[in-house]
């Protein structure tokens, strides 16, 4: 009877060790998933879309608390992605490029100087 209980105890220890190993692997995977989701969230929060209506708006209005679990943070990321897709539907790259070039030209200053018969131009962006 004592040997049977010792054998059962040994078997339980092996099962516990196996479950502990599995738990450690799952925790490591969860950590990697959490880091990946936080990285995606950080990148999405940096995206800025300028629509045809010349409204500059951040895709993300408020910062998410650091203690948000990965599942909730992933839902937030998906909502941000969907909002970005909606914002980009009316985005015209050619129109925005023209506006960018016009802004660049309006902000560029050209200084011209003559020195010993030569003309020097300094362009400041």
4-35 pLDDT, tens digit each? 888 889 999 999 999 999 999 999 999 999 89
Domain count, the chain: 2
Is residue 31 domain-shared with residue 79, that is, in the same domain?
yes
Are 10 and 47 contained in the same domain? yes
The average pLDDT across 108-115 equals 68
What per-residue confidence (pLDDT) applies to 54?
A: 45
Strand partners, 120: 113
Longest dimension (CA), the chain: 112
User: Could you give the CA distance from residue 46 to residue 39 in angstroms, rounded to a whole number?
Assistant: 11
Q: What distance in Å separates the CA atoms of residue 84 and residue 51, rounded to the nearest whole number?
A: 11
Give the per-residue pLDDT at 19. 96
Query: Distance between terminal CA atoms of the chain?
Result: 89
Whole-angstrom distance, CA of residue 111 vs CA of residue 97 = 26
* Percent of the residues in the chain that have a pLDDT greater than 90, as a whole number: 22
Pair (13, 40) in one structural domain: yes
Q: Sign of dihedral through CA atoms 68, 69, 74, 76?
A: negative
pTM of the model: 0.54
Residue 86 shares a structural domain with residue 96? no
Per-residue pLDDT averaged across 56-60, rounded?
48
Average confidence (pLDDT) over 84-93: 78
Cα 67 to Cα 8, 37, 40, 120, 122, distances in angstroms: 42, 13, 16, 58, 52
């Amino acid at each position: 009877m004592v040997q049977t209980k010792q054998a059962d105890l040994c078997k339980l220890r092996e099962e516990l060790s196996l479950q502990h190993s599995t738990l450690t692997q799952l925790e490591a995977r969860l950590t990697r998933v959490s880091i990946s989701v936080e990285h995606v969230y950080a990148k999405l929060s940096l995206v800025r879309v300028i629509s045809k209506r010349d409204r500059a708006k951040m895709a993300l209005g408020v910062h998410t608390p650091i203690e948000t679990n990965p599942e909730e943070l992933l839902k937030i990321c998906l909502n941000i992605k969907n909002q970005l897709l909606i914002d980009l539907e009316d985005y015209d790259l050619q129109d925005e490029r023209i506006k960018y070039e016009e802004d660049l030209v309006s902000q560029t200053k050209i200084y011209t100087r003559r020195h010993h018969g030569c003309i020097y131009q300094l362009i400041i962006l």
